[in-house]
Amino acid sequence: MRTFLLIFFILNQPKIVNKIDSVVQSRDDNIRILFLFILSVFAFIGAFVFIGKIFQAPDDSVFLKFLIEVVRLLGSVAVAMVVGYALISVGLAKKEVAKRLWVEPIADFFRRYGKQAILLLLLIGFYRVSDIVAGNLSNVFYAKMGFTKIQIADAVKFLGLFMTIAGGFLGGLVAQKMKMMHVMLIGAIASSTTNLLFILLTYHPGDMNYMYLAVVVDNLAAGFATAVFIAFLSALTSVKFTAVQYAIFSSLMTLFPKVLGGYSGGISDNIGFANFFLITFLIGIPVLILIYLVDKHVVIGSNDDPVELSTKLE
C-alpha cells in the first residue's frame, strides 16, 4: 500500500477527459448487486470448506497438498460463479448491470489485446512470485538464524520500511525515464537475485551485518519492482473500466505467489533454507522470458479506446 501511494504521486499523471457516457444505476440495483456479491462470497467459503473436508493430502506430501489446494481454490471459484449466475437468472440482480460491472471489463481487455492478453495475464500473475514466496518465510528464517525479535523488528520493520519507500521512489523515477518493459526487466532481475543474499546469510547465522545487507538490498529491490509494476498495471487498464480492471490485475498479481507461498514453510523444512531461497531465485527466471515476449509482441496502450489527453498538470 505504501508503494501504491508513492507511485501515484511520483508519476506524471496526464489529465484524461473521458467522453464515454456513464450508465446510471439506481440505488436498488446497487443493493441487489451487493447482495449478489455477498451470497457468492458465502458460496465460495462454503465450497472451500466442503472441498477441503473431502480431499485431504497426507502430511508428508507438500507437493500433493499444494495441488489439492489449487484444485480446492479453483473449484470454489467455479461454485461461486455458478451460484452468482443462478441468482442472476432468478432475478436477484439485473443481468445487464452485472454484465456491465463484471463481464465487460474482462471482455474489453481481451478485445483490446486479443491472444496477447494471455501473455499479459501470465506476466501479471508471475512477476512478483520470486520475492513474495521468499518474503513469506523471511521472519521465520531470521528467527531460525538466531536473531532476536527486537533485532528482526529493527531491521525489517524500521530499516526495511524506509528501504521499501526508497525503492518505490527510485522505481517511480526510473519508470519515467526508460521504456516500461526495460524497467520491468530490471525490477524482475533485482527482486529475484536479491534472494541469493539469504543463502549467504545461512552461512553467517546471527551476524547482524549480513542481515542488514540482506534486508536493505531485498526491500529496496521489492519497492522498486512494486512501483514499476504498478505503473505497468495502470498502463494496461482501459479508461472505461479502470477501477475494475486494476482491481482484477492487482489481485491476480498476488494470487499464485500467495498460494505457493503458503507452502514455503513445508518446502524449506524438506530441503533446507539455502535450497529454498535458491528455488525462489530460479522461479524468477521464467518471468524474464515473459517480459521479453511481452516487449517483443505487445504494444502497451496503443489499442486503448480514444480519449482526450492533456499533458498540462493541474
Who contacts 280 (Cβ-Cβ below 8 Å, separation ≥6)? Answer: 130, 131, 133, 134, 192, 195
**All cell numbers assigned to 298:** 505487445
At what angle are helices 160-177 and 2-10 packed, to 10 degrees? Answer: 30
pLDDT of residue 303: 59
Cα separation values, 301 from 19, 232, 242, 308, Å: 18, 10, 13, 14
Candidates 181, 134, 143, 159; CA nearest to 279 is: 134
Residue 64: per-residue pLDDT:
78
User: Which of 3.40.50.1820, 1.20.1250.20, 2.60.40.1180, 3.40.50.300 is the CATH number of 106-302?
Assistant: 1.20.1250.20
With a pLDDT cut of 70, the percent of the chain lying above it is: 86
Residues of the chain with pLDDT under 70: 1-24, 57-62, 301-314
* Residue 267: per-residue pLDDT: 83
pTM: 0.81
**Assigned C-alpha cell, 101:** 460491472
Q: Rounded distance, CA 209 to CA 144, Å?
A: 16
Q: Which residues contact 275 (CB under 8 A, 6 or more apart)?
A: none
| HEC string for 218-282 | HHHHHHHHHHHHHHHHHHHCCCCCHHHHHHHHHHHHHHHHHHHHCCHHHHHHHHCHHHHHHHHHH
Report which of 169, 107, 143, 133 is spatially closest to residue 277, judged by C-alpha positions: 133
Maximum pairwise Cα distance, the chain: 64
Residues carrying CATH 1.20.1250.20, the chain: 106-302
Give the helix ranges, DSSP H, for the chain: 2-10, 27-54, 62-89, 95-98, 104-113, 116-126, 129-135, 138-144, 149-152, 160-177, 180-193, 196-202, 208-236, 242-261, 264-271, 273-282, 285-297
Q: What is the pLDDT of residue 314?
A: 35
Reduced to 3 states (helix: H, G, I; strand: E, B; else coil), residue 15 is strand
Q: How many angstroms separate the CA atoms of 235 and 245, rounded?
A: 11
Query: Smallest Cα–Cα separation from 242: which of 305, 308, 178?
Result: 305
CA torsion sign, 84 to 88 to 92 to 93?
positive
What pLDDT score does 38 carry?
Answer: 94
Distance CA 93, CA 32 (A): 5
Q: What is the pLDDT of residue 137?
A: 87
Identify the pLDDT of residue 304.
Answer: 60
Looking up cell 495475464 gives 121
pLDDT tens digits, one per residue of 67-85: 888 888 899 999 999 999 9
Measured between its terminal Cα atoms, the distance across the chain in Å is 25
Of 28, 67, 24, 63, nearest to 271 (Cα)? 63
pLDDT of the residue at 302: 56
